[in-house]
Chain A
């Protein structure tokens, strides 16, 4: 089974900061990776699909990159509404979520 490791598990940042969240796969997942945002009490919401494709309706401050085993979600200028937990999800071999990065305001 492919394991997904997200870092950091908790991130505190200020409004306007550039924020980087990381996700590392236990083996090459060929860019078959999505990012989800989950706010308290809500279902996860798709932000980025296939590593770097912005889902319709998602603000352009969100972007994704990566290849092989290492992937990144970047928020170019943190907004208060971005407070949430972010999960990476691989579908290259089976389906696995990372444990999440909780993003809070400093």
Chain B
């Protein structure tokens, strides 16, 4: 069965970076894009961007350009998102999901907390 297994919760200091992972299984990894979505209590769900897992090409929501960097490791069927120059506003749950137009399968989410 299709699964997206995300890495564990992160506690980071302001100004630092974190890199979270999303390991796919149960399907051909390079056949589907991976999307990343941010969820906060105040802002709801925000689409960050997607990565073409075959070519490595990316598409970012304007708001997250410079904040998020999406990469993939095809050899391990894993997608990554690095968040840089962290501020408290980056504290959220981050999901990966398979697909862009119609994300069907989602990871369990990673809570990122930014605090000094």
* Interface residue ranges, A against B (CB under 8 Å): 1, 32, 34, 43-46, 49-50, 55, 87, 89, 91, 94-100
Contacts and interface: CB of A to CB of B under 8 A. Distances in A.
A99 B95 contact: no
Contacts of A46: 102-104
B47 A94 contact: yes
Contact of A97 (B45, B62, B101, B104): B45
B114 to A, nearest CB: 21
A100 B102 CA distance: 17
A49 B102 contact: yes
A91 B102 CA distance: 8
Interface in B43-99: 44-47, 50, 61-62, 95, 97
Contacts of A44: 45, 95, 103, 106
B53 to A, nearest CB: 17
B108 interface: yes
User: Which 8 residue pairs of A and B lie closest in terms of their CB atoms, listed nearest first?
Assistant: A43-B106, A97-B45, A95-B47, A91-B101, A99-B44, A49-B102, A46-B104, A100-B44
Given A43-B108, A87-B44, 18 more contacts: A43-B97, A43-B106, A44-B45, A44-B103, A46-B103, A55-B104, A87-B45, A91-B100, A91-B101, A91-B102, A94-B61, A95-B35, A95-B50, A95-B101, A97-B45, A98-B44, A99-B44, A100-B44
